[in-house]
Amino acid sequence: MPDKRDADQPIRGQRRCKGFRRVSHGLFLQEREDLTPDQEFWRDLHAWLDVLPDGARFTHVTGARLRGWALPKLPEQAPVFAAVEGDPARPRRPGLICSRLRRTAATDARRHGLPVDSAEEILLRCARDLGHIDLVILVVSALRAGDIDKTAMALVLGSRRPGVIALRAAWGEASMELESPGEVVLYLFHRAIDVPVAPQVTLCDDRGIVLGRADLHIIGTKNVHEYDGAVHRDKAQHRKDLRRERGWAGSDYVRRGYTLDDLLNHPMTVMHEIDRALGRPHDHRRYERWCAQVENSLYSEVGRERVMNRWHRAMGVTDWSRTP
């Protein structure tokens, strides 16, 4: 039986035989069926190091995934992002975007044996491409992972580098209390339509007995809004949710659950429901504000196409499909 360590060694050249998978032009790996998606991803990055200059580090959404952060809805064909120090010859090929590192202090951070950029630099590079919703998801995840150096982040946010304005806005709205990308989207939706909310609030009845924690509590009301993602369809989680809701029986709290489809595809309906519950008039400008954020994010087809076009240009990929 072949050694698995040998199977993980990248192969350079024009080899295109059965049993090998193409990572990029002239870069192949032997196929393996015993790996998880994350393990296959790490294996690909080890192969990419074979064509990157010495001292290269992974950054942008590649670095974010390598650090284990929760990600927004990335396009299926998102490239690998790397950065190099100094001014070496940077490889330019489909599937890879390589930029220059710019920092005052070096970092030797590694994840899964792979060199990775600092959290602050990763976020700044993401801020140059991604929308507000995407950025807040990444900032929240970085905070929850404990990867943010507050001093280093203050230096980045105080600079005039590209992407800083967008990163400042995301940093200002990020909260460590938000536990998932879905909760972030729900939170930002309420912010966009001017509904003040507090995340992950412990609810108590009139006797002070704890009823449970809520994703979002509308401040000044008894309304509780929660994100009902795929995890809530799990049998064990569903039973837990039902027990919790029975515990709320007889209290003044009113729970409403929302899915990603509600927030992205039917925001007008959701906003009207909330307006009626709060007894306030509708304001179409709130709806337009939210739609603009969604359209500029990876959660919309327009946003994904915009980002992929930008990345294709950076990779030097020419699309001839629309050429007459």
**In this structure, are residues 298 and 307 in contact, taking their beta carbons and an 8 Å threshold?**
yes
* Amino acid in the structure at residue 52: L
* Segment 47-58, tens digit of pLDDT: 899 888 888 999
Please write the tens of the pLDDT for every residue from 64-76. 999 999 999 999 8
- Return phi, psi of residue 139, to 5°: -65, -45
- CA pair distance 268, 15, nearest whole angstrom: 54
pLDDT (tens digit per residue) in 82-139:
998 766 667 777 889 988 776 545 567 899 999 999 999 999 999 999 999 999 999 9
pTM: 0.87
Cα of 229 vs its chain's centroid, Å: 16
| Total number of residues shown for the chain | 324
CA–CA dist 1, 176 (Å, integer): 48
Q: How far apart are CA 230 and CA 32, in angstroms?
A: 29
For residue range 185-235, what is the model confidence (pLDDT) as tens digits?
999 999 999 999 999 988 777 776 677 788 899 999 989 999 987 544 555
